[in-house]
C-alpha cells in the first residue's frame, strides 16, 4: 500500500500541474470570447486613421477593421469592427509606431502603448486612448500576446479618404 501512495501521489500531482498548464495554454484554441459593443458612429465622430487586420503568420490570424476616432466631447478611442483574431492567453490591444509590423521584433523595437486586455477575440469593441498618447507617431494597431511576446495580428493605419 505504501508503494501505491509513493507512485500515485506524485503521479496525481504531476498530472494536475500538467493538466492545468495545458488548459491555460491550449483552451484559447477552442474557446472564443465574443463581444458585441455598440460603436459610436455618425455625426460628430471624426475618423483619424483606419486599417485592416491581417494574419501575422499561419498560426496567428486576424481580420476586421481598426479605426482611431475622436468622439463628440473630444475623447479618442480605437474601435474594432467585424473583428476576429485567433484566441490566445493574455492578449492585449496595442498602438505601435511600426508602420506595417511583420514580426514581433518590429513591434518591440519601437514605441508602443497598451490599451489594455483584449475584451474578446471576436466582435465589435472599443478602447479608450489616453490623452497623453501622441497619435501622430502611432502607425498601427496590433493584437499582442503579452504572455509570450508574440504578434497575433497587425492593422497598419492610414488616413481615411475624403
Residue 2 has pLDDT above 90, yes or no: no
pLDDT at 5: 67
What are the residue ranges spanned by the domains of the chain?
Answer: 1-31, 46-156
Beta carbons of 111 and 98 less than 8 angstroms apart = no
Is the pTM value of this prediction over 0.75?
A: yes
Residue 1 has pLDDT above 90, yes or no: no
Q: Is 112 helix (H, G, I), strand (E, B) or coil?
A: strand
Residue 4 has pLDDT above 70, yes or no: no
Radius of gyration of the chain measured on its C-alpha atoms: 20
Tens digit of each residue's pLDDT (9 = 90 or more) over 74-88:
999 999 999 999 999
Q: What is the mean pLDDT of the chain?
A: 91
Tens digit of each residue's pLDDT (9 = 90 or more) over 22-42:
666 666 666 899 999 999 999
Q: Which position has the grid cell 501512495?
A: 5
Burial of 2 (0-12, 13-18, 19+ CB in 10 A): exposed
Amino acid at each position: 500500500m505504501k508503494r501505491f501512495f509513493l507512485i500515485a501521489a506524485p503521479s496525481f500531482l504531476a498530472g494536475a500541474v500538467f493538466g492545468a498548464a495545458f488548459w491555460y495554454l491550449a483552451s484559447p484554441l477552442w474557446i472564443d470570447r465574443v463581444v458585441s459593443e455598440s460603436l459610436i458612429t455618425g455625426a460628430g465622430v471624426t475618423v483619424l486613421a483606419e486599417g485592416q487586420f491581417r494574419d501575422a503568420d499561419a498560426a496567428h490570424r486576424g481580420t476586421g477593421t481598426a479605426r482611431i476616432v475622436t468622439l463628440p466631447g473630444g475623447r479618442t478611442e480605437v474601435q474594432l469592427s467585424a473583428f476576429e483574431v485567433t484566441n490566445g492567453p493574455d492578449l492585449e490591444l496595442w498602438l505601435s509606431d511600426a508602420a506595417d509590423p511583420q514580426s514581433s521584433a518590429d513591434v518591440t523595437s519601437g514605441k508602443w502603448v497598451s490599451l489594455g486586455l483584449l475584451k474578446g477575440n471576436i466582435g465589435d469593441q472599443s478602447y479608450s486612448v489616453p490623452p497623453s498618447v501622441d497619435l501622430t507617431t502611432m502607425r498601427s494597431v496590433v493584437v499582442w500576446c503579452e504572455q509570450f511576446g508574440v504578434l497575433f495580428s497587425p492593422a497598419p493605419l492610414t488616413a481615411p479618404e475624403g
